């Protein structure tokens, strides 16, 4: 057994072909030179690692948003040949000028807020049950059961709701069979059907943050509170709720942002009285030509509003959490 380094080095050169791939690569001149140049200093190594991803997020993630903003400030896009493009705020002014534009805008925000609240109220007990009343071993199974439908796409699920709520749908059939109604209730094309659909689509994004927040709560805390004489409602209000505010906050933010962005679901489930802003925006892109800047401006307004609302909401939640610690 030889452990004498000097005896070994400079021994017979190994047969190149018999080396492993990685041995050949590491010893291959051009690769070696390239790696030496790339790793010459930690700084250079970092730049090589960072250049592509930073360039990507700037041009592909930020780029589209900035370009949208830029187009929203121009009077014509795409620019026709021979026409001078100029800066304007008209597209934004147009929004406030006509109730046909700002009505759907406020309707969208209201709907998104209400649907978010509904989703929270529906999924909180579900998440609570999963995290606190199901044994560890079964939790994943119970959760997976809920995950399956959510792998199915937006359009297919929207269609499923259409079948459920239609005049000849399942709900009306059941009600009729039970003798509760004579003629079908027109659920479809109302804000109700839209709500059912949107809650159906977003529930998972609320459920998962809530579940992971609740799962972290030790059972002993509830028992301790019960031991001290706290009833079910007090336990929930004083223990579970404050400690899961983070989950509530991120779930609501996510669901709110997603809800404001739905296009197909309101088109299919909603009616003329429930037109949402996404449909207004989309309208500007169905016709070719100079409506694009207006559409871009409206999309920018929408995004800014959604961001401001979620930021304010997060701040409120943060204050609530801090207030509770005191």
Partner 1 sequence: MSDQTPLVRIEGLSKHFGDTVALDNLTLDIAKGEFVTFLGPSGCGKSTTLRILGGFERPTTGRVILDGEDVTRQPPEKRHVNMVFQDYALFPHMTVAQNVAFGLELKGMSRSEIRRRSEEIMSFLELESYASRYPLQLSGGQRQRVALARALAPDPALLLLDEPLGALDAKLRGQVQQELKSIQRRTRKTFFFVTHDQEEALTMSDRIVVMNKGKVEQDGTPEELYFRPASRFVAEFIGETNLLSGQMRGTEGDKVVMDWENTTLLGTAPAGIPGKGQPITASVRLEKLGFSAERPQTANAVQGRVVGKTFLGSRMAVQVAVGDGDVLLKAYVDVQTGQSVDDDLIWIGWEPDNMAVLND
Partner 2 sequence: MNDRPELFRGNRIFLACIYWSFVLYVFVPLILMVLMGFKDSKFIGFPIRSWTLEWYVGVFADAEILSTFGYSVAIAILSTLISIFVGTWLAVLLEGRKFWGRTIIFGLAVLPALVPGIISAIAFRIYARWLGIEPGMGAIVWAHAVHNVPFVVLVVMARLSTLPRSQIEAARDLGADPLISFIRITLPYLVPAILGASIFCLLLSFDDFVRSFFLGGYEPTLPVLIFAMLRSGMSPEINAIATVALILTAVVGIWAERFTRRMNKDS
> For tokens 């796409």, what's the residue?
153
Please tell me the distance from the alpha carbon of residue 133 to that of residue 157, in angstroms, as a whole number.
29
Structure tokens at 9: 């080095």
Query: Binding to partner 2 (CB under 8 A): which residues in 184-203?
Result: 200, 203
Q: Which of 95, 101, 102, 150 binds partner 2 (CB under 8 A)?
A: 150
- If one asks whether residue 33 binds partner 1 (CB under 8 A), the answer comes out as no
Q: Say how far apart CA 189 and CA 198 lie, in whole Å.
A: 13
Dist CA 55 CA 321 (whole Å): 38
> How many other CB atoms are there within 10 angstroms of residue 98's CB atom?
9
Hey, which bits of 69-152 come out as E strands? none
Is residue 19 a contact point for partner 1 (CB under 8 A)?
yes
Neighbours of 124 (CB within 10 A): 22
Of the candidates 200, 190, 191, the one whose C-alpha atom is nearest the C-alpha of residue 161 is: 200
DSSP three-state, residue 87: strand
5: partner contacted, choices partner 2, partner 1, none (Cβ within 5-8 A by kind): partner 1
Locus of tokens 């005049």:
167
According to CB under 8 A, which one of 19, 37, 129, 319 is a site residue for partner 2? 129
- Residues 218, 224, 225, 227: is their CA dihedral positive or negative? positive
User: Comparing C-alpha atoms, which of 226, 241, 257 is closest to residue 121?
Assistant: 241
Q: Is 47 in the site for partner 1 (CB under 8 A)?
A: no
Q: Which stretch, 12-20, 88-96, 112-120, 275-283, contacts partner 1 (CB under 8 A)?
A: 12-20
CB of 25 to partner 1, least distance (A): 9
Q: Return the number of other C-beta atoms located less than 10 Å from residue 57's C-beta.
A: 11
Q: Please pick, from the candidates 14, 19, 24, 62, the single residue that binds partner 2 as defined by CB under 8 A.
A: 62
In the complex, what is the shortest distance from the CB of residue 100 to partner 2, in angstroms, rounded to a whole number?
Answer: 18
State yes or no: residue 17 binds partner 2 (CB under 8 A): no
Is residue 67 part of the contact set for partner 2 (CB under 8 A)?
A: yes
Binding residues for partner 1, total number by CB under 8 A: 18
Q: Of 270 and 295, which CB lies nearer to partner 2 in the complex structure?
A: 295
135 binds partner 2 (CB under 8 A): yes
Strand partners, 87: 74
Q: How many residues bind partner 2 (CB under 8 A)?
A: 93
Least distance CB 256 / partner 2 (angstroms): 9
Q: Does residue 149 interact with partner 1 by CB under 8 A? A: no
Which uninterrupted H or E stretch holds 83? none
Question: If binding is defined by CB under 8 A, does position 3 make contact with partner 1?
Answer: yes
Q: Is 20 in the site for partner 1 (CB under 8 A)?
A: yes
Q: Who's near 208: CB < 8 A, 6+ residues apart?
A: 251
Considering the complex, state which of residue 1 and residue 141 has its C-beta at the smaller distance from partner 1: 1
Binding partner 1 by CB under 8 A: which of 10, 22, 86, 151?
22
Residue 251 contacts residue 206 (beta carbons within 8 Å): yes
Q: Residue 264 CB, nearest distance to partner 2 (Å)?
A: 5
Nearer to partner 1, 13 or 144 (CB): 13
Q: Which residues here bind partner 1, judged by CB under 8 A?
A: 1-6, 8, 14-15, 18-20, 22-24, 26-27, 39
């Amino acid at each position: 057994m030889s452990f004498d380094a000097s005896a070994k080095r400079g021994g017979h050169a190994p047969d190149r072909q018999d080396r492993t791939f990685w041995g050949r690569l590491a010893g291959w001149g051009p690769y070696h030179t390239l790696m030496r140049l790339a790793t010459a200093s930690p700084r250079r190594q970092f730049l090589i690692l960072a250049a592509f991803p930073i360039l990507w997020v700037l041009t592909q993630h930020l780029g589209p948003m900035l370009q949208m903003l830029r187009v929203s400030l121009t009077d014509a896009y795409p620019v026709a040949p021979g026409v001078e493009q100029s800066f304007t705020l008209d597209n934004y002014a147009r929004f406030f000028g006509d109730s046909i534009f700002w009505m759907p805008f406020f309707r969208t925000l209201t709907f998104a807020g209400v649907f978010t609240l509904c989703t929270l109220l529906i999924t909180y007990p579900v998440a609570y049950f999963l995290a606190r009343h199901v044994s560890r071993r079964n939790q994943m199974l119970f959760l997976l059961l809920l995950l399956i439908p959510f792998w199915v796409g937006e359009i297919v699920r929207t269609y499923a709701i259409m079948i459920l709520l239609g005049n000849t749908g399942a709900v009306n059939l059941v009600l009729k069979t039970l003798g509760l109604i004579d003629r079908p209730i027109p659920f479809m094309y109302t804000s109700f059907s839209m709500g059912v659909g949107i809650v159906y689509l977003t529930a998972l994004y609320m459920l998962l943050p809530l579940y992971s927040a609740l799962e972290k709560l030790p059972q002993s805390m509830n028992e301790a509170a019960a031991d001290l004489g706290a009833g079910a409602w007090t336990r929930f209000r004083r223990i579970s709720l404050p400690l899961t505010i983070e989950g509530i906050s991120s779930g609501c933010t996510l669901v709110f942002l997603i809800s404001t962005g739905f296009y197909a679901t309101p088109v299919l489930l909603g009616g003329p009285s429930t037109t949402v802003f996404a449909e207004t925006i989309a309208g500007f892109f169905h016709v070719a030509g100079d409506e694009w800047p207006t559409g871009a401006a409206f999309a920018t307004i929408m995004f800014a509003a959604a961001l401001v609302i979620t930021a304010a909401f997060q701040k409120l939640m943060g204050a609530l959490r801090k207030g509770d610690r005191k």
